[in-house]
Structure formats: structure tokens, C-alpha cells
Amino acid sequence: MLTAYETLQTARQAVRYGASDYLNKPFDVSTIREAVSNAYKKRQYSIARQSASAELQHIRQELTTRQ
């Protein structure tokens, strides 16, 4: 989230709504790039975790059916 109106309340709301970072204006390009990179990494980890969870569920179902 990028804001010109930085308060503790808006930071809390941003986190509650799923913001991966909270940046205020003025900003520099390197800060934005780092925030985007971090958000991308978090998303990739989330996708990998969901995939692993689905695979584990599938394996559990197969094991249950074989018994």
C-alpha cells in the first residue's frame, strides 16, 4: 500500500486487508522495487504452499482408499 496519509490506523487496516507492505510518500524507486519483489516472493511461496498442500491431500486420499 502506498499512501500520503500515514497513520497507525491506516497501517492496521492495510495489514487487515492483506497489504504486503506499507509505504508512504514521497518514495524512491528502489523502495518500490524492493516492495514489489518481496510481494512477488510472498505470492510465489503461497502458490507453492497451496500446491504442496493439495498434493499432500491427494496422497492422503490415495492411502485411505488403499487400506
Separation between Cα atoms, residue 15 and residue 36, nearest integer Å: 16
- Report residue 33 as a C-alpha cell: 522495487
Could you read off the pLDDT of 12-31 as tens digits, one per residue? Answer: 899 899 898 888 888 899 99
Q: What is the pTM of this model?
A: 0.71
Residues constituting the chain: 67
SS3 content of the chain, % helix, strand, coil (to 5): 70, 5, 25
Separation between Cα atoms, residue 29 and residue 12, nearest integer Å: 24
Q: At 6, which amino acid appears?
A: E
Place of cell 490415495: 62
pLDDT at 6: 85
